[in-house]
Amino acid sequence: MSQRRLLFVCYPDTNHPIGGVKQIYRQVELLHRAGWDAHVLQEQPGFRANWFESSAPVMDLDSYKQSHPSSDRDLLILPETWLNNAPQYCPGIPKIIFNQNAFYSFGLHGDCNARTLELYQHPDIHAVVTVSNDSRNLLVEGCGIASNRCAVLINGIDQTLFHSPAIKHRRVVFLGRKHADHARKVALMASQDRQLNNVSFQELPRMQHHEVAVAFQDALIYLNCGHPEGFGLPLAEAIACGCMVVGYHGLAGRDFALPHMKVVEFGDLLGLLQGIKSELARFDANREQVIQERLEASRIILQRYSLEEERACCLRTWTDLCPAIQ
């Protein structure tokens, strides 16, 4: 256990269901339970994300500033979107970048330049932590980050929420987030296709975590349009819920999803529609076989990304990183 105080920066404050926020809270929760001095750092007093359950302790920015920040005691964990601000943010205090989507390493709006990647070598930044082998490969091989300064955490799946049910309905669900317009266009095309008259399409808006789990369990097919993804937790959670999956692997999905989904090339709307039709036909022709196949896929995903594996990886990673910071 480190003697340092770990502060995971998580503002601007928002209650929009953003997976990266939940994962920040999850890291703090796991560390705190293990006896570490770890906090989520939010901007406003009293604010905490509430669209998922978490016991992570939260500190507001003013309270942190009044606690006498110290380079000998504190470790700041910044999201990848904060990279350009890192040198000016509490200068001299050691920092680790929690990079949950390596594709944002170049800036949110494609406004990248050489300085962006050079900042990873700033003396305040001691390491980078990411969430998939795909992201780590991009950071190490593409961005020049030394392999011994880049670690991978596991995103765990809560099996009490995300598991395969006994009954599915002929429904295709998709998230109202990255490239949701692709899915909406597919749903519109499907409404003109007589072969899909008995299939409903449902867009999942910004929902509570447990509500997403219920929707995944109810649906036969999950249409995945997230691209690019640092990990793609909804994709993994849909597989855990026994969904047949059609869509984009989001690049990071290559870590775990390829054996369990029908991959469609990014932007191929007709391919998405045809993929849904072919998966429905496969289900109708070999129902029991497909059910057993989805149960096995669920078992594999839940075993690989169990909460126990997530906890062990979290404690191992931060235990290894913290002593290296002087």
Per-residue model confidence as pLDDT tens digits over 300-322: 999 999 999 999 999 999 999 98
Residue 165 in tokens: 């049910």
Q: Decide if pLDDT at 108 tops 70.
A: no
Chain-wide mean pLDDT for the chain? Answer: 93
* pTM over the 0.95 mark: no
**How far is the CA of 256 from the CAs of 124, 231, 261, 301, in angstroms?**
34, 9, 10, 8
Is 5-156+307-324 a domain of CATH 3.40.50.720?
Answer: no
- How far, in Å, are 151, 166, 254, 311 from residue 220 at the CA level? 35, 11, 22, 31
Of residues 54 and 105, more confidence is placed in: 54
Per-residue pLDDT tens digits for 23-80: 999 999 999 999 999 999 999 999 999 989 999 999 999 999 999 999 999 999 999 9
CA angle centred on 119, ends 12 and 123, rounded to 5°:
105
Identify which of 145, 223, 231, 245 has the alpha carbon closest to the alpha carbon of residue 179.
223
Q: Which structure tokens are listed for 290?
A: 């497909």
Residue 104's pLDDT is 83
The torsion angles phi and psi of 150, rounded to 5 degrees, stand at -135, 115
Mean pLDDT computed over 113-134: 89
Place of tokens 């447990």: 210
Alpha-carbon dihedral sign for residues 132, 137, 138, 140: positive
pLDDT-based confidence at residue 325 (cuts at 50, 70, 90): confident
Give the domain ranges of the chain.
5-156+307-324, 169-304
How sure is the predictor about 207, in pLDDT bands with cuts at 50, 70 and 90?
A: confident
Mean pLDDT value across residues 289-295: 96
With a cut of 70, say whether residue 109 has pLDDT above it.
Answer: no
**Does residue 170 sit in helix, strand or coil?**
strand
- CB-based burial label for 11 (10 Å; 0-12, 13-18, 19+): middle
| CATH number for the domain running over 169-304 | 3.40.50.2000
